[in-house]
């Protein structure tokens, strides 16, 4: 004889509004496993893009995101969602906030901010390669909080002297 299956109530408060999820939508959703190498901001962006292409009936986009997001989570990320306090999530904003708080903790943010502020060009790196690498660092942490002028300053300070010389020549006396 097996013990009965006991499942905790969902962390998501069921809205009064109804949404029928069509089976063809679920396979189109991106997956997130909760691995360190995954970018939760990129996942949310891709998820929202997919949701924006399917407006089912008269359902609100908030309801659609709230109902579909759990289908995107796998492995550690799904375990995290199932561990949340029952009925603690009331809307898409709450779910996003909890997801980012768990998946993108403060120490990860601080590490990426250090990577941005201490950026330096690699030896023999071309300007455009250096710029692309810097932009990847910025995009990995869209909530970095740095002003644009400070980002430009970090990049300039991290450039090699030959890159700075070329840039200053191109800009004339502006710099």
* CATH number for the segment(s) 26-103: 1.10.1200
Tell me the pLDDT tens digit for each residue of 100-141.
999 888 888 999 999 999 999 999 999 999 999 999 999 999
Q: Whole-model pTM above 0.85?
A: no
- The whole-angstrom separation of Cα 85 and Cα 102 is 14
Domain with CATH 1.10.1200 in the chain: 26-103
- The whole-angstrom separation of Cα 46 and Cα 48 is 5
Tell me the pLDDT tens digit for each residue of 130-149.
999 999 999 999 889 999 99
Tell me the pLDDT tens digit for each residue of 65-84.
999 999 999 999 999 999 99
- The whole-angstrom separation of Cα 102 and Cα 89 is 14
- The whole-angstrom separation of Cα 15 and Cα 57 is 16
- The whole-angstrom separation of Cα 13 and Cα 86 is 8
């Amino acid at each position: 004889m097996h013990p009965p299956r006991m499942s905790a109530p969902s962390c998501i408060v069921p809205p009064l509004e109804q949404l029928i999820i069509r089976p063809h939508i679920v396979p189109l959703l991106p997956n997130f496993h909760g691995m360190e190498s995954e970018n939760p901001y990129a996942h949310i962006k891709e998820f929202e893009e997919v949701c924006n292409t399917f407006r089912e009936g008269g359902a609100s986009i908030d309801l659609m995101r709230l109902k579909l997001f759990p289908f995107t989570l796998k492995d550690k990320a799904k375990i995290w969602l199932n561990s949340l306090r029952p009925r603690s999530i009331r809307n898409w904003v709450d779910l996003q906030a909890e997801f980012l708080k768990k998946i993108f903790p403060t120490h990860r943010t601080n590490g990426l901010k250090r990577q941005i502020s201490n950026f330096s060009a690699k030896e023999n790196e071309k300007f455009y390669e250096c710029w692309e690498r810097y932009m990847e660092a910025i995009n990995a942490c869209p909530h970095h909080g740095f002003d644009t002028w400070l980002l430009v300053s970090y990049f300039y300070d991290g450039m090699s002297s030959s890159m700075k010389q070329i840039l200053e020549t191109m800009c004339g006396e502006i710099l």
